[in-house]
Amino acid sequence: MLGRLEGKVAIVTGAGSGFGFGIAKKFAGEGAKVIIAELSQECGEKAATEISGLFVRTDVTKRESWQSLLDITLKTYGKLDIIINNAGATYHNKPTAEVTDDDFELCIKVNVKSVYLSSSVVVPYFVRTNRPGCFIQVSSTAALRPRPGLTWYNASKAAVSNASKTMAVEYGAKQIRFNCVCPVVGSTGMTHLFLGKPDTEENRAGFVSTVPLGRPSTPADVANACAYLASDEAAFITGVNLEVNGTSYCTVIRLTDPGNQVDGGRCV
Ligand SMILES: NC(=O)c1ccc[n+]([C@@H]2O[C@H](COP(=O)([O-])OP(=O)(O)OC[C@H]3O[C@@H](n4cnc5c(N)ncnc54)[C@H](O)[C@@H]3O)[C@@H](O)[C@H]2O)c1
């Protein structure tokens, strides 16, 4: 039986770990050729070996990196169909007045500039070749229902969700689709930063108590949503923010509950 992404070529950024690796594995399992575009040499090589993909060392905040990623992809596979902008970064959850210029710039560069550069470099390729391109950005529930202590991470994800909707309208006539998935907290390399404390079941309990389905998100949850949006089954879906969050709601309305007080700007 053919996979749902058979014959497609997909770039997944930040695919050396966490959600990105889950997406890369799912896409390879569905028949896609997968390019692991990752900053970490070690994680990228390991991920590529595991799914028989191609590792291209990439810094998503650099234009030259995007250009060489596209060039290598076209040289290796002859075409490109799907971009998953998954690489992301945040600072440690803290009161907003204590955020540094470096914290702010990290979020804007890795989360927002990467999406800008991907569209700047790859959209002209789709237009030139008349291909129905597909962009999927890993945004966040934070874009839609922000929680305290992560103002500029939340705002960077809101920018990603808004830019994707705008580009969906602008490039609809060219058959280039832009969608976002918006996960709630999972258990990955970034989770301790979101929580502002170690990623343990106990420390995740405050977040999880606001998820009606009663658990954090997993890489498989995020990957399944991306696989649908990247497949031909979603050919008429563009400009959406698909929430992958067990219908999570914001903790702000629970701050008065026992065990969910605010301490120095973060939920405890
Ligand atoms: N973990 C969560 O709870 C959660 C919730 C919602 C959204 N997200 C989003 O999911 C995405 C994936 O994060 P994750 O949770 O899997 O974390 P992660 O730390 O496991 O993965 C992030 C990956 O991005 C890579 N990366 C960082 N900067 C890069 C750069 N400049 N160029 C290329 N690669 C770079 C890292 O090396 C790492 O492999 C992020 O965009 C994050 O904002 C995460």
Q: What residues contact residue 72 under an 8 Å CB cut-off, 6+ apart?
A: 35, 54, 56
The pair of structure tokens assigned to 89 is: 């970064």
Can you give the pLDDT at residue 190?
Answer: 94
Binned at pLDDT 50, 70 and 90, residue 210 comes out as confident
Q: How many domains is the chain partitioned into structurally?
A: 1
85 lines ligand 1 (CB under 6 A): no
Ligand 1 centroid to Cα of residue 75, in Å, is: 27
DSSP state of 91: P
> How many CB atoms lie under 10 A from the CB of residue 201?
9
- Ligand 1, atom 43, residue with closest C-alpha: 88
Q: Any catalytic annotation for residue 116?
A: no
Binned at pLDDT 50, 70 and 90, residue 250 comes out as low
Highest mean pLDDT among 80-89, 140-149, 184-193: 80-89
Ligand 1 centroid to Cα of residue 14, in Å, is: 6
Can you tell me which atom of ligand 1 is nearest the CA of 186? 3
207 lines ligand 1 (CB under 6 A): no
User: Within a domain: residue 163?
Assistant: yes
For 54-74, the pLDDT digits (tens) are 999 999 999 999 999 999 999
User: pTM for the whole thing?
Assistant: 0.94
Q: Of 62, 151, 32, which Cα lies nearest the Cα of 100?
A: 151
Binned at pLDDT 50, 70 and 90, residue 247 comes out as confident
CATH number, residue 27? 3.40.50.720
Ligand 1 centroid to Cα of residue 128, in Å, is: 31
Ligand 1 centroid to Cα of residue 16, in Å, is: 9
Can you give the pLDDT at residue 19?
Answer: 98
The pair of structure tokens assigned to 47 is: 């991920």
Can you tell me which atom of ligand 1 is nearest the CA of 141? 6
d(C-alpha 263, C-alpha 63), whole Å: 40
Ligand 1 centroid to Cα of residue 134, in Å, is: 20
User: Within a domain: residue 267?
Assistant: no
Single out the catalytic residue among 77, 91, 125, 153. Answer: 153
Domain residues for the domain of 61 are 9-244
User: Within a domain: residue 253?
Assistant: no
Which has the minimum average pLDDT: 8-17, 92-101, 217-226, 245-254? 245-254
Can you tell me which atom of ligand 1 is nearest the CA of 216? 3
Q: Whole-angstrom distance between the N-terminal and C-terminal Cα of the chain?
A: 48
186 lines ligand 1 (CB under 6 A): yes
User: Within a domain: residue 264?
Assistant: no
89 lines ligand 1 (CB under 6 A): yes
User: Within a domain: residue 262?
Assistant: no
Can you give the pLDDT at residue 256?
Answer: 53
199 lines ligand 1 (CB under 6 A): no
pLDDT above 80 for 49: yes
User: Within a domain: residue 180?
Assistant: yes
pLDDT above 80 for 260: no
User: Within a domain: residue 268?
Assistant: no
Query: Longest C-alpha distance within the chain, in Å?
Result: 58
User: Within a domain: residue 251?
Assistant: no
Tell me what percent of the residues of the chain surpass a pLDDT of 70: 93
87 lines ligand 1 (CB under 6 A): yes
Q: What is the rounded average pLDDT of the residues 182-195?
A: 93
Give percent helix, percent strand, percent coil of the chain, each to the nearest 5: 50, 15, 35
146 lines ligand 1 (CB under 6 A): no
